[in-house]
Structure 1
Amino acid sequence: MRMLIVLSFLHMMKSVQPEEIVDTTLILRRTITLDCRYSGSGTVIQIHWAKVNGSAEETICTIHKSYGKYISQKYMSRMSFAVENSSSDLSITLRETSEADIGIYVCYLAQFPAGTMKKVIAVQADNLSHIVPSSHQAFEEHSNITLNFLYTSIGDVNQVTVHKFTNGKMDLVAYCERQMSGRKLLSYGFDFLKRSFLNCADLRNITLTIYQGAITDEGLYQCHFSSEDKNQTTSINVHSKTIGRTPISTFALICGISLLIIVVIFTIAALCIVWRQKNKRIQAKQVDVSFSSTYAEPNIDTMDEDHIYANFVPNLSFSRSWT
């Protein structure tokens, strides 16, 4: 009954409309991972994954903090969670995909106290076009990344869209559009919400700032200017700055390995010395034993002397001659 209440609540959510902006575009592979990570400070109460079929939504899975887990029978044998029992990484992986898996997917997050958030993911069969960067820019980790995109053609710009390209994946960074009233509508992609800022006060001169840059922010950033006269695309290849410096972690690892090698060498040398000394003592003991007799040598000094007695018979004839 509780699960039915949860599903009814999800059914009342506003479905994804065709004109809505897609947060991430993926190329269909044999195995695809639909990313949905929550980086806020609130508490995630419920997550719901669905696939859009026309004006309806097909449930893939639902997880509620109190009511438990529900996985559709259609996806149960080939779906898995990227990280089990994680409150921040709510991504799912689909295996043995086919053309039937092409389409729009939505990750709904019900979290307290902000409410419901959603991430829209499109899976397509066509590869993303190859983009040649207009320039390159390096950044240091944990420092802000600032990118500037300039429109050089003639005419007024009505709309600006910034995307990030990495390994067959396209993420929406930010979107800015001039409305009829003259005001500008600014929105951010799901993965860049609250950690980036797009200055679009002048749509001809755009500045993007990403706070606390990390290795995951490496990629090709493309800014597309839409104008009534002429569209223009500018791209910047962004990578972390590692040349010319040794990271502390790498230096510590090198020192640790060097110290370990020294300790091992000294230990082996000490063992060799001990073994050689022990071997010499064993050999010396064997030599002493080989020269010792089984029987004790007699003590000449303490032997009893054998006395020889001789009985002489006097020659009487000889003695008479002298008389």
Structure 2
Amino acid sequence: MDYLTFFLAILHVYRALCEEMFWDTTVKLAENMSLECIYSSLDTLTQMEWFKINTTSRELIAIFSPIYGGVVKQPYTYRVYLLNSTAAPNDMTLYFHNASEADIGFYSCFLHTFPHGHWEKVIQVVASDSFEIAAPSNRHIVSEPGKNVTLTCQPAGKWPVQQVTWEKIQPHQIDILTICNLSQGKSYASKYQREIWSSCSQDMRSTFIIMPHVMASDSGLYRCCFKASTGDNETFVMRLTVTDGKTDNRYILFVAGGAVLLLLFVILITTIIVISYKRRRRQKELFKESWGAQNKAGNNYRNPNPTNQTSDGATEDVYVNYPAFSHRPKTRI
């Protein structure tokens, strides 16, 4: 009987080593980082624990009780804080100060609630160079607050789809929204802090998620990943922008101001062109009037004597008509 117990213990350890770890959120390692854990249900929290998941065991980091408060265990004292636990009963976010590569790994936010029992969120912390950067978005969706937003995508390939994953991408973390295993027809309900509706069936060729009553905090990049049984993968990235009233007013004022400035600029350019054209036309008219007056004055002061002379240089006789006088001397008395 002792051999059977030992064998079962070995089998349990082997399963723990070989079993693939599944996580809800991937966080990029930073000196000051936060592991977000927000419980969205209305259940009553009785106790919460933070663990670091090792290969065969779980290392207790912190424990919190709404009645007795929180305690941080060694060696995490003075490096780890539960800042929001007292202000918001459903916010059990863990804050790291002076984090290092030794903090890379998997973490578990484990909640005991009433009446639904326990709730767990697993977070993976990776090195900054291993953090996946999102590709440029393929589509942009704009919505007003309070609307239901539907994001859809469909693979271009004809290969059989085995798994579909929806994620929200942020600069410091990636949250899994939903996972659909088409081969089994099962979907995984994520631990994301807001409500997500999704579809999952074995025969579907496209997938969608619905976010009811969106808010400005829902803005960001969303990624849809298709994984085929043949090993092929296909990814779509889309950006969602949820506007608010202030943004709309600023945008309207910006557009209206731009239109007014453009109109004033057009009026100014048109006025300058018209004034310049009239000025050139007036100068042309004054030049014509001045030129005409100069020609008229030249005609009035022209020399009256004829300038034409005989070409052969011969002179003509000039005759003067005067009375004839007597040449007889006067008699003296």
- Give the structure-2-normalised TM-score: 0.65
CA distance in structure 2 between the partners assigned to 1:220 and 1:18 by the alignment: 31
In structure 1, which of residues 170, 175, 178 is the aligned counterpart of residue 174 of structure 2? 170
Deviation (angstroms), 1:84: 4.4
Match of 2:133 in 1: 129
- What residue number does 1:224 align with? 225
| Structure 1 residues 111 and 174: CA distance shift in structure 2, 3 A | same
Quick one: distance in 2 between partners of 1:52 and 1:216? Answer: 30
Q: CA deviation at 1:29?
A: 0.4
Q: Is contact 2:134-2:169 (8 Å) kept?
A: no
- Tell me by how many angstroms 1:69 deviates: 2.7
Question: CA, structure 1 residues 22+115, in 2 after alignment: closer, same or farther (shift >3 Å)?
Answer: same
> Which residue does 1:52 correspond to in 2?
53
Deviation at residue 49 of structure 1 after TM alignment: 0.2
- Specify the code of the residue in structure 2 equivalent to 1:134: N
Task: Give a deviation string over 1:10-48, Cα, whole Å, max 9, x none.
Answer: xxxxx9985242111011001110111112111000010
Contact map agreement 2:39 2:193 (CA 8 A) in 1: no
Give 1:56 shift. Answer: 0.6
SS for the counterpart of 1:216 is: helix
Query: Residue 159 of structure 1 aligns with which residue?
Result: 163
Q: CA deviation at 1:247?
A: 6.2
Partner in structure 1 of residue 206 of structure 2: 205
Give the aligned residue type for 1:199: S
3-state SS of paired residue (2:38)? coil
Give the match for residue 238 of structure 1.
240
The DSSP-based 3-state class of the residue aligned with 2:192 is: helix
- The superposition leaves residues 40-74 of structure 1 with CA deviations (integer Å, 9 ceiling, x where unpaired) of 11100001001011111110001123444321021
Unaligned residue ranges in structure 1 (runs of 5+): 1-14, 252-323
**Whole-angstrom CA distance in 1 between matches of 2:46 and 2:219:** 32
Q: 1:45 to 1:16 in 2, by over 3 A?
A: farther
Aligned partner (choices 109, 112, 115) of residue 113 of structure 1 = 115
**Any idea what SS the aligned residue of 1:100 has?**
helix
Query: Kindly tell me: are residues 171 and 88 of structure 1, through their superposed partners in 2, closer, same or farther at Cα, counting changes over 3 Å?
Result: same
| Structure-2 residue corresponding to 1:87 | 89
Whole-angstrom CA distance in 1 between matches of 2:46 and 2:39: 12
Deviations 1:259-316 (A, max 9, x none): xxxxxxxxxxxxxxxxxxxxxxxxxxxxxxxxxxxxxxxxxxxxxxxxxxxxxxxxxx
Contact 2:26–2:173 at 8 Å: present in 1 too?
yes
Q: Determine the C-alpha separation between the residues in 2 that align with 1:161 and 1:17.
A: 23
Please, which runs of 5 or more residues in structure 2 have no aligned partner? 1-15, 254-333
Identity %: 27
Distance 1:84 1:112, change over 3 A: closer
Query: CA 1:50 to 1:243, structure 2 compared with 1: closer, same or farther past 3 Å?
Result: same
Matched, 1:149 2:153: yes
Amino acid at match of 2:159: G
Matches within 5 A, 1:4-19: 19=20
Q: 1:114 to 1:184 in 2, by over 3 A?
A: same
* Larger radius of gyration between Structure 1 and Structure 2: 2
1:134-164 CA-partner distances (Å, limit 9, x unpaired): 1111121121110011111112111111111
Tell whether the 8 Å contact from 1:37 to 1:91 is kept in structure 2 after alignment: yes
Q: Could you tell me which residue of structure 1 aligns to residue 276 of structure 2?
A: none
Contact preservation (8 Å) 2:186, 2:200: no
Determine the structure 2 residue equivalent to 1:196: 196
Q: Which moved more, 1:196-205 or 1:99-108?
A: 196-205
1: distance between equivalents of 2:246 and 2:61? Answer: 48
Specify whether residues 167 and 73 from structure 1 end up closer, same or farther in structure 2 by C-alpha distance, changes over 3 A only: same
For the aligned residues, what is the CA RMSD? 2.6
Separation of aligned partners in 1, 2:164 and 2:90: 30
Q: Distance in 1 between matches of 2:213 and 2:17?
A: 31
After the TM superposition, which of the residue ranges 79-88 and 207-216 deviates more from structure 2? 79-88
Partner SS state of residue 191, structure 1? coil
TM-score (norm: length of structure 1): 0.66
Structure 1 counterpart of 2:104: 102
User: In 2, distance between residues paired with 1:172 and 1:16?
Assistant: 23
Q: Residue 27 of structure 2 aligns with which residue?
A: 26
Secondary structure of 2:61's aligned partner: strand
Task: Check 1:166–1:245 CA distance in 2 against 1; reply closer, same or farther (3 A cut).
Answer: closer
Alignment CA distance shift 1:74-1:239 (3 Å)? same
